[in-house]
Amino acid sequence: MPNPLRADCIAILSAASRIADTSTLIDLDYKHLGLSRNGMEVAATFLIERDCFTQHRDTNGLLAVGGLSLQGRMRLEQLTNG
């Protein structure tokens, strides 16, 4: 699997960080995130494999993620601060 771009990971993690309710999922739409479709899919898969979200769903190729897990918050902090 190719490595995701740092900016793509930050965009997805930032969107997920706004979720306050642990049972809520947001659909990942590359257009709303300002990413390419391939970039979003690579970054989302990378972050899901590393347990960055409290939950996730992949239905017919449409990805949705929940809020950030501890790992996700740490990764967002690491990516944004260097």
CATH number at residue 73: 1.10.10
Q: What percent of the chain has pLDDT over 90?
A: 88
**pLDDT per residue as tens digits for the range 39-51:** 999 999 999 999 9
In a domain, 60, yes or no: yes
Number of structural domains, the chain?
1
Cα gap 69→9, rounded to integer Å = 14
Confidence class for position 1, pLDDT limits 50, 70, 90 = low
Average pLDDT, the chain: 94
Tokens representing 68 are 């950030």
In a domain, 1, yes or no: no
Contacts of 10 (CB under 8 A, 6+ apart): 76, 79, 80
Cα gap 40→36, rounded to integer Å = 6
